[in-house]
Amino acid sequence: MYNNAGIMETAKTNILDIDKAEFEKVLGVNVMGSFLGTKHAARVMVPAGRGSIIITASISAIMGGATPHAYTCSKHAIVGLTRNLAVDLGRWGIRVNCVSPYVVPTPMSKAFLGVNKDGAIDVYSNLKGAVLKPEDVAEAVLYLGSDDSKYVSGHNLVVDGGYSIVNTSFSMFN
């Protein structure tokens, strides 16, 4: 089962400007949605004694400053939830993992970035010659859901072309 629902709040960088209701809405969809989706999938998987649950996190869960506060907080929560669920549901042979993609050119990310698909890729790309496409994330999810990953649980698979490990303002490899 793949939990892929998610929303992002208005891009406000100052905590003093953030509306509590908007913050709660993002956490409600992103975290509570993942929790409930997993809970209901587990109701079917526990009696079967096997299963695989994948939840979408984000590179925002492993680095600061990439996205607004509520979205970042929600994706950190998903990584923690994934790890706890892997321990809990592992007792019944159910694997739980998450995938943390880089910016995928979707309507949500394009609206947040304020640039077109090609602009987002050109400005924020690290792995030269490769462009992250929705299909790349789908392949990572497919791997986590398949028997090829039968002994992988509690893992956060980062699909970002190395972006999260590079500080472009401080690099001898420019």
94: Cβ contacts below 8 Å, ≥ 6 apart? 42, 45, 46, 50, 51, 52, 53
Active site annotation includes 71: yes
Residue whose C-alpha is closest to residue 60's, from 47, 74, 45 = 74
Strand partners, 98: 55, 156
- Find residue 29's DSSP bridge partners: none
Cβ contacts of residue 148 below 8 Å, gap of 6+? none
Rounded Cα gap, residues 139 and 99, in angstroms: 11
- Which amino acid does the sequence have at 100? S
The Cα diameter of the chain in Å comes to: 54
71, 102, 151, 163: which is the annotated catalytic residue?
71
* Strands, sheet with 94-101, edge to edge from the N-terminal-most edge strand: 2-3, 51-56, 94-101, 156-159
Catalogue the active-site residues: 71
